[in-house]
């Protein structure tokens, strides 16, 4: 059995202990994680300094280097974020709907943890704590695989969080940090669909570069990129830059909904203004492209024909309204 699979199985077992915690116990855990991180600030900063030294030696610079850098105020901000998560409403056990069926059965829909969540992310050490806090507070185990530039920082932060888990008699495997950053290990992690709770049974069709990353992915055709599948099928293409992405959308898109996920505000603005699609999303799920979600109450359909004027057309008729949606990473959850 491979190391990755052993780690994933251990995380799955540990997740059961986390799922059994009361709201008060989870709040206490996150507060102690924050305090432990604060007490180990020197160790975290020492690890980060080594990450920074190696990154600069490799030529990393600019915004990427800044995202990697930690100092005392930034570590404090990470600890503060842990405490903020601890004060959130506990989603586990929330009754989202109650109804009585004609036969008298009383039906409730109740939120429960997913189980094990895996997250792959770039060289931003704060994400290690943020992701761990959110997943654990929701009653899940979490497997984290950060960027190579932040490995030492991530290990130091995870060590502090592990100390808090141990102090609360919880298995440290509930927060598993993958230190094998090879492509092979990542691919193996993504294939553990019997352990890790990924969006299962999705068929992927992709370009040559995509297929090198995900073995077993079917080759995509031009028809695939233009298709509206109405099924759990994704056509994936890796491009070099924003220009190529826009060109791809203009060629294959239907002017329905486009999404950009980015921390670059200038890139987001360019994306919004470069496309004329009916809905444009910035850091928000395309599932929000729905009349009800956008405050219209309901919709009869989403028009892409622009047949909006009747009669004499002046300057106003030569414009059209659309939705520009700015989010902070929100996703739309389907009913349980």
Structure confidence at residue 317 as a pLDDT band (50, 70, 90): very low
Decide if 197 contacts 148 (C-beta within 8 A). Answer: no
In this predicted structure, what is the pLDDT of residue 313? 43
In this predicted structure, what is the pLDDT of residue 160? 98
- Calculate mean pLDDT across residues 149-160: 97
Distance (Å, rounded) from C-alpha 275 to C-alpha 283? 16
In this predicted structure, what is the pLDDT of residue 314? 46
* 116-146 pLDDT, tens digit each: 888 888 888 998 999 899 889 989 899 999 9
By three-state DSSP, how is residue 170 classified?
coil
Structure confidence at residue 312 as a pLDDT band (50, 70, 90): very low
In this predicted structure, what is the pLDDT of residue 310? 36
Q: Residue 205: is its pLDDT beyond 60?
A: yes
In this predicted structure, what is the pLDDT of residue 322? 56
The pLDDT > 90 percentage for the chain reads 49
What's the whole-number average pLDDT of the chain? 86
Decide if 45 contacts 71 (C-beta within 8 A). Answer: yes
* DSSP bridge partners of 282: 260, 326
- Calculate mean pLDDT across residues 236-257: 92
In this predicted structure, what is the pLDDT of residue 311? 47
Which domains does the chain show, CATH number per domain?
3-190 (3.40.605.10), 255-336 (no CATH)
In this predicted structure, what is the pLDDT of residue 309? 42
In this predicted structure, what is the pLDDT of residue 74? 96
In this predicted structure, what is the pLDDT of residue 301? 54
C-alpha closest to that of 158 among 145, 176, 181: 176
Q: Residue 53: is its pLDDT beyond 80?
A: yes
Structure confidence at residue 214 as a pLDDT band (50, 70, 90): confident
Angle CA 116–119–124, to nearest 5:
145
* 163-198 pLDDT, tens digit each: 999 999 999 999 999 999 888 888 888 788 778 765
Q: Which residue has the higher pLDDT, 208 or 288?
A: 208
The dihedral through the CA atoms of 142, 147, 151, 154 has a sign that is negative
In this predicted structure, what is the pLDDT of residue 213? 82
Please give the C-alpha separations between residue 273 and each of 269, 318, 331, in angstroms, as whole numbers: 6, 17, 23
pTM: 0.64
In this predicted structure, what is the pLDDT of residue 327? 80
Decide if 204 contacts 61 (C-beta within 8 A). Answer: no
* 269-306 pLDDT, tens digit each: 999 888 888 788 898 888 888 776 777 655 545 666 55
Please give the C-alpha separations between residue 30 and each of 27, 34, 37, 193, 270, in angstroms, as whole numbers: 5, 6, 10, 28, 39
């Amino acid at each position: 059995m491979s190391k990755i699979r052993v780690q994933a199985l251990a995380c799955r077992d540990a997740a059961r202990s986390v799922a059994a915690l009361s709201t008060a116990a989870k709040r206490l855990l996150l507060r102690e994680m924050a305090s432990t991180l604060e007490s180990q600030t020197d160790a975290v900063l020492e690890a980060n300094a080594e990450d920074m030294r190696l990154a600069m030696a490799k030529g990393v610079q600019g915004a990427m280097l800044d995202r990697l850098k930690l100092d005392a105020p930034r570590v404090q901000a990470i600890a503060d974020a842990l405490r903020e998560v601890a004060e959130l409403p506990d989603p586990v056990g929330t009754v989202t709907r109650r109804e009585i069926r004609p036969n008298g059965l009383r039906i409730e829909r109740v939120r429960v943890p997913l189980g094990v969540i895996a997250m792959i992310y770039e060289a931003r050490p704060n994400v290690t704590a943020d992701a761990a806090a959110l997943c654990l507070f929701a009653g899940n185990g979490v497997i984290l695989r950060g960027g190579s530039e932040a490995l030492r920082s991530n290990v130091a932060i995870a060590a502090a969080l592990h100390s808090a888990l141990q102090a609360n008699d919880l298995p440290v495997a509930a927060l598993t940090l993958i230190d094998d950053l090879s492509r092979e290990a990542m691919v193996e992690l993504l294939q553990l669909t019997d352990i890790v709770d990924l969006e299962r049974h999705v068929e992927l069709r992709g370009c040559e570069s995509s297929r090198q990353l995900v073995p077993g992915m079917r080759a995509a055709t031009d028809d695939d990129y233009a298709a509206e599948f109405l099924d759990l099928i994704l056509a994936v293409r890796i491009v070099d830059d924003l220009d190529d992405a826009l060109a791809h959308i203009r060629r294959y898109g239907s002017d329905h909904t486009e999404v950009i996920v980015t921390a670059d505000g200038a890139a987001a603005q360019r994306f919004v203004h470069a496309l004329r699609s009916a809905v444009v999303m910035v850091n928000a799920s395309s599932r929000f492209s729905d009349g009800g979600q956008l405050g219209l109450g309901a919709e009869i359909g989403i028009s892409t024909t622009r047949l909006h004027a009747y009669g004499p057309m002046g300057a106003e008729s030569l414009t059209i309204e659309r939705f520009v949606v700015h989010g902070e990473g929100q996703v739309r959850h389907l009913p349980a």
